[in-house]
Amino acid sequence: MRSRQRMFAAVMRLLLKCLRLGRRRRFKLVRQVEQLWHYGHLCLRSLLYNSFTNGDVVLDSLFEPVYWLVDHVTRWFGVVFVALVIGLTSSIVAIVYICLLPLILQTYTPAWICWHLTYGHWNLIMIVFHYYMAITTSPGHPPQAKNDLTGVSICRKCIAPKPARTHHCSICNRCVLKMDHHCPWLNNCVGHYNHRYFFSFCLFMTMGCIYCSISGWEMFRDAYAAIERMKLLEKERLQVAANQTYYQTPPPTFSFRQRAFHKSVVYLWVLCSSVALALGALTLWHAALITRGETSIERHINRKERQRLQKKGKVFRNPYSYGSWDNWKVFLGVDVPRHWLTRVLLPSPHLPHGTGLSWDLPPCVTEQRAPLLTI
């Protein structure tokens, strides 16, 4: 009896010892998993932590594949966009010369004929000149080698000197002096040396489209009404032809030349009006930026800087703005009054003020200001 009790007690002690050992091993395994989890979390935070991280940085990171796709598509389709601009502009010019100009010469008075010929050809010359210069002129790039430039930073992508107002273009894969934006319709960046050509092209193209829309309004109404009559007569002709033999079908009321003329006038007016609205809004936007003495990129930078200083009770002032009137003179390169004619109203390949590497006070600025640190 006693031997059975001893054996039962020994078995129970062994069972309890096994349970304690299994519990210790289980707790040890749980502690190891917790340690590995905390260690991995600490490593991940040490690699990704950034005190400047905010919602904008997270969104930019999430949309980085979209940005990459847009950059590469824009780079390859730039030639297509340029060909589209040339093709559409050439079609409008061809319609004006083939369809509208003979009608103007037959019906308008000599004074109106002189006005249309003078203004139309001047506007066309300005459009062609500024578009050609905008797509062929380099916007300007900073030197890759280190030199005596002062107050410059280093581009994180080019690993090269980055002067003030210079930004990196991900499409061109280069830094651009006084970069405004990359324009796919030019297949070129808009920067220090071709910013004036770009804006002048937008301005004169808008003026030309408005001129065509206003001048061709009456013709458009007549052409649209004629097209509606064509559709109605065509419908009636088909209804009559359905009840007659082939030899009794009446001939078409409008000839092919008349149809082409009316449709060309409608095409011209619709295209010019659409471009005038879209390009006119873009031109007004850039005019406002030029008035404030900033580019499209600098607008966002200055807005954030203005908000940051406002929280500290300070007032932000753009160091590159010399006043509305002087900003326009600096942008257009007007040093003397006659330059408004020779450099603004006539084609002029003159260079802008400065080299884009430093920003000294231009000679045409009338108001002297205290120098400020560049942003």
CB-side exposure of 7: number of CA atoms within 13 Å? Answer: 4
Domain spans of the chain, in order of start:
63-243+252-361
**Nearest in space to 67 (alpha carbons), one of 180, 182, 162:** 182
Question: Could you give the CA distance from residue 310 to residue 295 in angstroms, rounded to a whole number?
Answer: 21
What's the gap between Cα 341 and its chain centre?
Answer: 30
- With a cut of 50, which residues of the chain have pLDDT below it? 246, 370-375
Q: Residue 181 carries which DSSP code?
A: E
Asked whether the beta carbons of 327 and 291 are under 8 A apart, the reply is: yes
Question: Could you give the CA distance from residue 128 to residue 205 in angstroms, rounded to a whole number?
Answer: 9
Dihedral angle sign, alpha carbons of residues 316, 322, 327, 333: negative
pLDDT of the residue at 310: 87
pLDDT of the residue at 223: 87
Question: Could you give the CA distance from residue 190 to residue 202 in angstroms, rounded to a whole number?
Answer: 12
Name the active-site residue from 183, 202, 209, 212: 183
SS3 at position 190? strand
pLDDT of the residue at 373: 40
What's the gap between Cα 139 and its chain centre?
Answer: 15
SS3 at position 159? coil
pLDDT of the residue at 51: 63
User: Which residues have C-beta within 8 Å of that of residue 150, sequence separation ≥ 6?
Assistant: 358
Active site residue 183: yes
Question: Could you give the CA distance from residue 360 to residue 30 in angstroms, rounded to a whole number?
Answer: 68
Which run of H or of E encompasses 182? Answer: strand 181-183
In this structure, what are the phi and psi dihedrals at residue 149, rounded to the nearest 5 degrees? -65, 135
pLDDT of the residue at 368: 52
SS3 at position 162? strand
pLDDT of the residue at 319: 87
In this structure, what are the phi and psi dihedrals at residue 336, rounded to the nearest 5 degrees? -130, 160
Q: Where are the alpha helices (DSSP H) in the chain?
A: 2-48, 55-62, 64-95, 101-107, 110-136, 195-215, 217-242, 256-292, 296-311, 324-332, 339
Question: Could you give the CA distance from residue 197 to residue 200 in angstroms, rounded to a whole number?
Answer: 5
SS3 for 59-109, per residue? HHHHCHHHHHHHHHHHHHHHHHHHHHHHHHHHHHHHHHHHHHHHHHHHHCC
